Structure 1
Amino acid sequence: MDFKRVKEYFSWLYYQYQIITCCAVMEPWEQSMFNTVLLTILAMVVYTAYVFVPIHIRLAWEFFSKLCGYHSTISS
């Protein structure tokens, strides 16, 4: 793939994002505020998943391993 096709593809994706979120009808300052809030929420979701999902997976593994009679020695 050449650089022009990749650039056109990302341009098309950004256009789809603007159409889906109705950013195309917003003023520039509204678009920047909307994008800032959206990126902040997305960053918080990713961070929370990164921090807490492994803990819950480990706890679920320990629970089900004890339930099935398998005792593992997973160290924290």
Structure 2
Amino acid sequence: MNFKNLREYLSWLYYQYLLITGIYVLEPWEKSIFNSILFSAIAMVIYTSYVFVPIHMRLALEFFSKIIGDQPESTVALMN
């Protein structure tokens, strides 16, 4: 893929973004504000996912491992 095709493809993607969001009818300063808010929200979601999802996954794993975990020794001794 050469540079011209890549540039045209990115231009087409940007045009699709403008059409889907409906911001093609806005003035340039309104587009800037909309894009800034949108990309800030996306960045916050990505950062929050990166920071907090591993913590919650670890806590959930500990919780379910205690529920499903090994049986106490007294129960194992009774079954033999």
TM-score with structure 1 length normalisation? 0.85
1:18 aligns with 18
Q: Which runs of 4+ in 1 moved over 4 A?
A: none
Shift in Å at residue 67 of structure 1? 1.5
2:68 aligns with 68
1:73 aligns with none
Shift in Å at residue 19 of structure 1? 0.5
Please tell me the residue identity of whatever aligns with 2:61: W
User: Does residue 48 of structure 1 match 2:14?
Assistant: no
Question: How many residue pairs are counted as aligned between the two chains?
Answer: 70
Deviations 1:14-55 (A, max 9, x none): 000000111110000000000011011111111111111000
CA RMSD of aligned residues (A): 1.0
Return the structure number with greater helix share: 2
Q: Gaps spanning 5+ residues in structure 1: where?
A: 71-76
Percent of counterpart pairs with the same letter?
63
Q: Gaps spanning 5+ residues in structure 2: where?
A: 71-80
